[in-house]
Amino acid sequence: MAERMKWIEVIMPQLAESLVSATIGKWLKKPGDRVEQYEPICEVITDKVNAEIPSTVDGIMGDLLVEEGTTIAVGEAICRMQVAAADDEQVEEQVTQVSEQNSVQQGAVTPVGHDPNQPMRNRYSPAVQSLAAEHGLNLQSIQGTGAGGRITRKDVLAVIAQGGHTGSPSAQSSSAATASASPFSGVNKSGGETGMSAREAVSAADAGVPVRHSGIHLTESPKIPQIEVEGGGQGRSEYFIDVTPVRNAIARNMRQSVSEIPHAWTMIEVDVTNLVMLRNKLKDEFKRKEGINLTYLSFMMKGVVNAIKDYPIMNSVWAVDKIIVKRDINLSMAVGTEDSVLTPVIKHADQRNIAGLAREIEDLARKTREGTLKLDHMQGGTFTVNNTGSFGSILSQPIINYPQAAILTFESIVKKPVVINDMIAVRSMANLCLSLDHRILDGVICGRFLQRVKENLEGYNMETKVY
């Protein structure tokens, strides 16, 4: 019996609770290509993060309804796919699952043969789908603990922690079949081969291009911009560089920040001589034990977090008729690449020691370099820190990371002659520059906050513990 074919529309999913639109960055499949379930069909850009949209069905790619670089609202169709089914009932079930899995704006639909008491049972987020496929798990065999029986990422991780056993032999065999057929087999989350990210693979192919390294702002090989030459010939006086969706997002966010937030800034000088000596004492042993660098930024973050505890108004946002003070201290960390600046977030930074902050810094910096940051990594920030000193900067006026109330930069450490007790001594000094939202914060509170950060940084000594 010949397979019946039917066209379905794939819609833009809601990748995050606050997401209302996204930009199609690149189509990974073209019309006529065969697509397997869970295989990425396109890259989207939102909040300066690249995310892949996986297919929820097996089929053949049809018309691409949205061009690259176009911004589209959540719930709108992005392409059409042709799917095969043994009968109309199976086709209808696949269409229903696509609608449920990709859109939270549509009402709950109960698929044929599914429990009406769990209307969210078959709504899988892309993160859940990717994680299950990577570990060869059958989502139908996992018990969901989310609203309406929905399977959450925590549910999948719990099964993985138990060795991938869901309790049903048939489910396990089905899981194994899914793993063997999945395009994620042998591939890591970033889309490259096992042990190598996609961007690392590009760098390996272009090994002749040197990679710059500068403190926390570890970068990849510089990209060659798309250039359109006007006029041609040797006498041309200008050329064009296409504005990428990432650059567009940065421009939009920066414009919003400077147009809505009345910026003011202030600076303080800090004696970090003891901090330099402490880090020099600990860094080699820390490297051997943890396998990562113990950076100055981790000590600075700890000092900032402790100061925010004393002055919680620094951890707030403006809400027109009220000021919202955030209870959680989630530090956004500015990380620069050759073509953008991203601000991944260290969640609950106040619950981490210096070593824990160092691990988070390394992990987020690595994911930024590899291009594997997820939307969750970029959301929830309440205060931003930036290590501009890694470039040798000694003074800067940063733009506030909207809608936060302030951003603090840690400038370069420079040896200077300093007067101490009427005697001149050579000390390691650094500037801290704070930009503030003058609707929320004033000079008095910011001055006291900077003084507390200064006290915390100058309070480090050779007995300070990082664990």
User: Which of the residues 135, 165, 263, 438 is marked catalytic?
Assistant: 438
Please check whether residue 96 is in contact with residue 111, taking contact to mean a CB–CB distance below 8 angstroms: yes
User: Which of the residues 88, 115, 284, 442 is marked catalytic?
Assistant: 442
Q: What three-state secondary structure class fits 336?
A: strand
Rounded to an integer, what distance in angstroms lies between the CA atom of residue 52 and that of residue 43? 4
User: DSSP state, 351?
Assistant: G
Residues 6+ apart with CB under 8 A from 145: 152, 154, 155
Residue 58 a catalytic site member: no
At 128, the amino acid letter reads: V
Residue 442 a catalytic site member: yes
Q: Determine how β-strand 4-11 pairs with β-strand 323-325.
A: unpaired
Q: Which of 333, 437, 308 is nearest to 385 (CA)?
A: 333
183-220 as b/e: b if 16+ CB within 10 A = bbeebbbbbbeeeebbbbeebeeeeeeeeeeebbbbbb
Question: Which long-range contacts link 173-177 to residues 24+ away (Cβ below 8 Å)?
Answer: 174/138, 174/140, 174/141, 175/136, 175/137, 175/138, 175/141, 176/136
Q: Which residues are catalytic?
A: 438, 442
